Amino acid sequence: MHLAKVKDHCFAPVEHRFDFRDTILYALGLGFGSDPVDPAELPFVYEDGLQAVPSLCVVLAHPGFWAKRPEFGIDWLRILHGEQSFEIHKPLPAAGVVHGEYEIEALEDKGAGKGAILHQAKRLRDETGDLVATVRSVLFLRGDGGSGSFGTPPATPGVVPDGLPDAVVDLPTLPQQALIYRLSGDYNPIHADPAPARAAGFDRPILHGLCTMGIATRALLRARAGNEPARLTSMFVRFSRPVFPGETIVTEIFDQENGVVRFRCRSKERDVVVLDRGHAVITG
C-alpha cells in the first residue's frame, strides 16, 4: 500500500439526487412492509406520508470503490468491512439532494502480515449546507500491514452487556433479499452470483453487511422508537459474520441510561452473532 497517497487523497464531493422511489426501494430491501396490514411500517414504503429509514444515510452519495484504484496499491480483494456507524444531525428527507464530503481519518497499522485498519468518514449536507448526517466506516485491509499509520482512530463501543436482553425482535429475510437490496447501490457480485460468492469462500451469495445493519435499524425502530425515525439519532455496529438470505435475524436489545441501547444480532438458524457491539441512541 502507498501510504502517502492514501493519506493525502482528496475525494471529490458527491452529489446525490434521490426521490420517493429510492427511499421506498431501500426500505423494501430491509423487509419493511412484509406484513401488508401493519400500519406501523407503511410510512416507510408508501409515498403518502413517506418517511426515510435513518440508515438510508449509509447508501447516499457513495464515492464508489475507491480502494480498488491501482495508485493506492491496496490489496483490495482482501478488504473486509469491519464496522459502520452513523449520527443524524438533521432528519433525513424522503426525497431531495445531498452532497457527500469524504475523508480518510486514520489508518492503524497492525504490522507486517497482520493487516491494517482504515477509518473513513462521510459528511452529508443538504442544499442549504446544513450537516444532515455523519457516517463512518471501518475497513480491515488484511493484505496491507506494515505500511505505517496516521491519524487518530475514533473510539468505539465496548462489548454488549451480559445477561438476558430487555427486548428481542425476530425479523425473517427473504431468499431474494440481497437481490432487492443491491438495487440501492451495492452491486458486488458476491451478493447475487453463486460463482463469485464461491470464489470468495461462501457456498452461496451472502447478504450485504449494510443490509443486516438496516434490518437492525428496523428492529430498533419497532422495539424502542415507536417507528418514529427522528428518534433514532445514532447507531454503531461491528460486522462479525455474514448472513445468508432467507435467514431470520434476531436482534437482542439491552436498555441503558439516557436513551442508550446496546444490541447484538444473531442468525436464528445458525445461532451465531452476525452484528456485535451494537450501540444506538433513542430520544424522546
List, by residue number, the catalytic residues: 186, 191, 206, 209
The C-alpha cell at 43 is 410510512
The C-alpha cell at 177 is 433479499
Residues paired with 99 in a beta bridge: 15, 125
DSSP sequence for 174-200 = -TTHHHHHGGGS---GGGT-HHHHHHT
Residue 210 vs residues 144, 150, 184, 190, 236: alpha-carbon distances, Å: 24, 27, 11, 14, 11
* Alpha carbons 261 and 48: distance in angstroms, whole number: 31
3-state helix, strand, coil in the chain (%, to 5): 25, 30, 45
Let me know: does 113 contact 145? Beta carbons within 8 Å: yes
Length, in residues, of the chain: 284
Residue 107 vs residues 149, 177, 185, 255: alpha-carbon distances, Å: 5, 33, 26, 33
End-to-end CA distance of the chain: 46
* Alpha carbons 262 and 228: distance in angstroms, whole number: 19
DSSP sequence for 204-248 = S----HHHHHHHHHHHHHHHHSTT-GGGEEEEEEEE-S---TTPE
Let me know: does 119 contact 106? Beta carbons within 8 Å: yes
Q: At what angle do helices 209-224 and 20-29 cross, to 10 degrees?
A: 90
